[in-house]
Amino acid sequence: LGESISQAIHEMSNATIVDEKVLNDCLNEIARALLQADVQFKLVRDMVSNVKKKVNLNNLAAGLNKRKIIEKAIVNELCEMLDTGKPFFTPQKGKTNVVMFVGLQGSGKTTTCTKYAYYHQKKGWRPALVCADTFRAGAFDQLKQNATKAKIPYYGSHLESDPVKIAVEGVERFKKENHDLIIVDTSGRHKQEAALFEEMRQVFEATKPDLVIFVMDSSIGQAAFDQAQAFKQSVSVGAVVVTKMDGHAKGGGALIVAATKSPVIFIGTGEHMDQFEVFDAKQFILRLLGKGDLSGLLDKIEAVDMDQQAELLQQLYHKENITFGLYQYILKMGYQVCNVTSHLPFLLGKSKELAPEGQEKEILAKNKRYIIMMDSMTNEELNCSNPKLINGSRIMRIARGAGCPVGEVMEMLKKYKDIANELSVRLRNMKKQNPRRSDG
Ligand code: GDP
Ligand code: MG
């Protein structure tokens, strides 16, 4: 699916003149690919008409890059498709949250359970894992092994064959032990069969989870829609995790799942515990289209994305303080495109000093590590702009979470301070010069 869409965009980009016909051909091609992948007709129709509405070829000022504008409109509309807009449950700190994972066998449930637990543990949660898969031999051992590696408490049994009993026992035990995130792994079957759904419903009734997460293998493509629908009809699926995004299929399936209007919250990008990312629609679409692959970063130094710059500038302009979250966003953006200092020359005049030539690679690697460190920060920490809040014990927690030395976290804090100061000064000057400015 991703390939057909990028191919269509590519053809449009290669046309000598971009006119109505070229645009229509491109959109038809994309629509065909989406329909073939079972995306609902209405979604496809809306997507096409929205792109046409936004790209009015006749009114485009001369000198603007039409191809880029069309491409951007298409990417934006695909993002819209993924944006289900439906608020979903997020675990609340300070209470007990029970989260149940469902999905077909081999989709990556057990792996994802541990990743989810590990992700939250790094942010200061107290997760625990319950293995309610009594169907597959070795299921408990697998969970045990994963949990032990991540130092997460687990519950399960080799002898008991009733998944409902185990699920209830595990959840009760961890509730008593005051765990705030109790994760229930369930069994899957190869096919969507009545027995699977019945067992799932029973575990659901017995443990009354706050959230059910449907785990989907991204490579299944077209079958994704039916599968997601079937699961949704059996239990109330609140969120989706798409796994194996590192594989060939690049997750066209997620686009299809979007058609079921279930919000995707995370993606799995490998077998390891930390190969797990918060889902970001835009990044996802770019990856689906074969762009913005984070690993091939240096090869992808694309033209400066003016939209992103404007968006960032606007965000910055309305912020009194540069929080850690914003700092991470800046780094992520820079990390995605190239490096932030060379892409925001209007903000960081001293870009040469901050990113001396020849050191871009090291700086990018560092930024990447800083981003990972901030992934281990709690929301309170991300929303603050006072490095003093990050005291010794917090620094240790972040270092543990990110798997890096304490000294490196301190270095990140220092860097944050420098950049935040620099940005604040520049923003103040900008506001003085142009007090009424309200957009990018
Ligand atoms: P379950 O049957 O749904 O519990 O699935 P498992 O968690 O046992 O995963 C099945 C296989 O998929 C295992 O070999 C995992 O290592 C692998 N796997 C899970 N998630 C990912 C992922 O994001 N990327 C890759 N490459 N493999 C994954
Ligand atoms: Mg499993």
Task: List the CATH number of the domain containing 250.
Answer: 3.40.50.300
Sheet bearing 264-268, strands edge to edge: 154-155, 127-132, 181-186, 97-102, 211-217, 239-243, 264-268, 276-278
Note whether 346 and 400 are same-domain residues: yes
**Which one of 111, 130, 272 would you pick to mutate in the ligand 1 pocket, going by the greatest count of ligand atoms within 8 A of its CB?**
111
Pair of tokens at residue 370: 């800083």
Residue to mutate, 107, 140, 242, 271, ligand 1, most ligand atoms under 8 Å from C-beta: 271
Question: Which one is predicted more confidently, 193 or 154?
Answer: 154
Whether residue 200 is found in the same domain as residue 337: no
Same domain, 141 and 267: yes
Rounded CA separation 17/23 (Å):
10
Residue type, 390: I
Give me the mean pLDDT over the 356-378 stretch: 79
Q: Do the bridges between strand 239-243 and strand 276-278 make them parallel or antiparallel, or are there none, so unpaired?
A: unpaired
Residues 180-239: tens digit of each pLDDT: 999 999 998 887 788 889 999 999 999 999 999 999 888 776 677 778 888 888 888 889
In a domain, 87, yes or no: no
Tell me if residue 240 falls in helix, strand or coil.
Answer: strand
Please name which of 253, 258, 257, 250 lies closest in space to residue 290, comparing C-alpha atoms: 250
Q: What is the pLDDT of residue 298?
A: 24
In this prediction the pTM is: 0.69
Residues 285 and 307 in one domain: no
Ligand 1 atom at shortest distance from the alpha carbon of 247: 26
* 73 lies in some domain: yes
Of the listed ranges 156-170, 174-188, 241-255, 308-322, the one predicted with least confidence:
308-322
- Confidence at 47, pLDDT banded by 50, 70, 90: confident
What is the rounded CA–CA span in Å between residue 194 and residue 216?
19
Judged against a pLDDT cut of 80, whether residue 161 lies above it is answered with: yes
Dist CA 82 CA 353 (whole Å): 40
Closest C-alpha residue for ligand 1 atom 20: 108
Task: Write out the two tokens for 39.
Answer: 């995306």
Report the relative pairing of strands 264-268 and 276-278 from DSSP bridges.
antiparallel
Is 122 a pocket residue for ligand 1 (Cβ < 6 Å)?
Answer: no
Q: What is the DSSP string of 349-369?
A: TTHHHHS-TT-HHHHHHHHHH
Residue 188 CB–ligand 1 contact under 6 Å: yes
Beta bridge partners of 277: 267
- Measured distance CA(9)–CA(51) in Å, rounded: 13
Give mean pLDDT, residues 79-108.
85
Residue 274 has pLDDT above 50, yes or no: yes
Q: 385 CB under 6 A from ligand 1?
A: no
Name residue 401's amino acid.
G
Q: Are residues 204 and 260 in the same domain?
A: yes
Residue 342: pLDDT above 50? no
Is 389 in the same domain as 324? yes
The confidence band for 41, taking pLDDT boundaries of 50, 70 and 90, is confident
Taking the C-alpha atoms of residue 28 and residue 32, their distance in angstroms, rounded to an integer, is 6
Ligand nearest to the CA of 135: 2
- Taking residues 311-340, what's their average pLDDT? 66
144 within domain boundaries: yes
If asked whether residues 315 and 230 sit together in one domain, one would say: no
348 falls in which pLDDT band (50, 70, 90)?
very low
Backbone angles phi, psi at 183, to 5 degrees: -110, 125
Of 241, 256, 291, the last residue of a domain is 291
> Would the CB of 141 count as within 6 Å of ligand 1?
no
Q: Do 144 and 261 belong to one domain?
A: yes
Ligand 1 lined by 120 (C-beta under 6 Å): no
Domain membership of residue 428 (yes or no) is yes
Q: Return the ligand number nearest the Cα of 105.
A: 1
- Rounded Cα gap, residues 169 and 134, in angstroms: 14
Q: Are residues 316 and 284 in the same domain?
A: no
- For the stretch 101-130, what's the b/e string if a residue is b when 16 or more beta carbons lie within 10 angstroms of its beta carbon? bbbbeebbbbbbbbbbbbbbbbbbbbbbbb
C-beta 221 within 6 A of ligand 1? no
CB 115 near ligand 1, within 6 Å: no
With a 6 Å cutoff on the Cβ, whether 440 touches ligand 1 is no
**Domain-terminating residue out of 249, 265, 291:** 291
Residue 409, pLDDT above cutoff 90? yes
The tally of domains found in the chain comes to 3
Most distant CA atoms of the chain, gap in Å: 73
Residue closest via CA to ligand 1's atom 2 equals 106
Q: Poorest-confidence range of 45-49, 234-238, 249-253?
A: 249-253
What is the CATH classification number for the domain harbouring 393? 1.10.260.30
Using a 6 Å cutoff on CB, does residue 219 contact ligand 1? no
- 3-class DSSP state for residue 264? strand
327 near 416, Cβ under 8 Å?
Answer: yes
* % of the chain residues with pLDDT over 90: 30
Tell me: pLDDT of 402 over 70: yes
Calculate how far, in angstroms, residue 402's C-alpha sits from the geometric centre of ligand 2: 26
Q: In this structure, which residues have their CB less than 5 angstroms from ion ligand 2? A: 109-110
Q: Which ligand has the minimum distance to the alpha carbon of residue 270?
A: 1
52 shares its domain with 114: no
Show which of 259, 291, 323 is a domain's final residue.
291
Q: Is residue 199 part of a domain?
A: yes
Structural domain boundaries enclosing 354: 297-433
pLDDT of residue 255: 67
Q: Report the pLDDT averaged over residues 143-150.
A: 96
- As a whole number of angstroms, the distance between CA 73 and CA 67 comes to 10
Q: Is position 71 within any domain?
A: yes
In a domain, residue 91? The reply is no
> Do the beta carbons of residue 300 and residue 290 sit within 8 Å?
no
Interatomic CA distance for residues 13 and 70, integer angstroms? 9
405 φ, ψ (degrees, to nearest 5): -65, 150
In a domain, 385, yes or no: yes
- Note the ipTM here: 0.99
Distance in Å, CA 244 to ligand 1 centroid: 7
Task: Report pLDDT for 60.
Answer: 63
> What is the token pair recorded at 353?
């000093």
Would you say residue 163 has pLDDT above 70? yes
Question: 322 and 183 in one domain?
Answer: no
Classify 215 as helix, strand or coil.
strand
| Same structural domain, 287 and 306 | no
pLDDT in tens, 106-134: 999 999 999 999 999 988 899 999 999 99
Least confident of 80-94, 98-112, 256-270, 292-306: 292-306
> The domain spanning residue 74 has which CATH number?
1.20.120.140
Quick one: average pLDDT of 243-257? Answer: 67
Ligand 1 pocket, residue 251 CB under 6 Å: no
Beta carbon of 270 within 6 Å of any ligand 1 atom:
yes
Helix or strand (DSSP H, E) at 395: helix 392-402
Q: Is 238 in the pocket of ligand 1 (CB under 6 A)?
A: no
pLDDT value at position 76?
A: 84
